[in-house]
Amino acid sequence: MELQSIKNRFGIIGNSATLNHALSTAIQVASTDLSVLIVGESGVGKEAFANIIHSLSSRKHNPFIAVNCGAIPEGTIDSELFGHEKGSFTGAADTRKGYFETVNGGTIFLDEIGEMPLGTQARLLRVLETGEFIRVGSSKVQKTDVRVIAATNRDLLERTQQGKFREDLYYRLSTVPIRVPALRDRKEDIPLLFRKFTSDFAERYRTQSVQLDNAAQQLLVNYHWQGNVRELKNIAEQISVLSTDKLVTADMLQSFLPQVAGNRSLALVQQAGVPIPSPGGSSGEQFGNTERDILYKLFFELKKDMNDIKQLLFEFTHQPGAAYSPAPIQDGGMMPAFNNAPYNNIAEPIVTSSPIITVEHMDHHEDVEESLMLADREKEFIIKSLKKHKGRRRDAANELGISERTLYRKIKEYDIKE
- Sorted by where each begins, the domain ranges of the chain are 3-181, 184-256, 297-361, 373-418
pLDDT value, residue 402: 83
Q: How far is CA 145 from the centre of its chain?
A: 34
pLDDT over threshold 60, residue 361: no
Identify residue 153 by its one-letter amino acid code: N
**Which architecture characterizes domain 373-418 according to CATH?**
Orthogonal Bundle (1.10)
State pLDDT tens for residues 256-307: 987 643 443 344 434 444 444 444 443 333 444 445 555 555 555 666 666 6
How many whole angstroms separate alpha carbon 103 and alpha carbon 64? 7
Bridge-based pairing of strands 176-179 and 36-39 is: parallel
Q: Identify the CA nearest to 360 among candidates 314, 298, 308.
A: 314
- What is the rounded distance in angstroms from the CA atom of residue 279 to the CA atom of residue 15? 23
Task: Note the CATH number of domain 3-181.
Answer: 3.40.50.300
Per DSSP, the residues of 16-54 read -HHHHHHHHHHHHHHTS---EEEE--TTS-HHHHHHHHH
- pLDDT of the residue at 311: 66
Question: Would you say 27 and 10 are in contact if contact means Cβ atoms under 8 Å apart?
Answer: no
Query: Going by C-beta distance under 8 Å and a sequence separation of 6 or more, which residues neighbour residue 169?
Result: 121, 124, 125, 128
Give the integer Cα–Cα distance in Å for 110 and 204.
32
Rounded percentage of the chain residues whose pLDDT exceeds 90: 57
Decide yes or no: CATH 1.10.1040.10 for domain 184-256: no
> For position 349, what pLDDT does the model report?
43
State the average pLDDT for the chain.
Answer: 80
Pairing state of beta strands 211-212 and 141-143?
Answer: unpaired
Per-residue pLDDT tens for 112-161? Answer: 999 999 999 999 999 999 999 999 999 999 999 999 999 999 999 999 99
Residue 101 predicted with pLDDT over 70? yes
Interhelix angle 3-10/46-55, rounded to 10 degrees, is 110
- Whether the CB-CB separation of 228 and 182 falls below 8 Å is answered with yes
Cα Dmax for the chain: 91
At residue 390, the pLDDT reads: 82
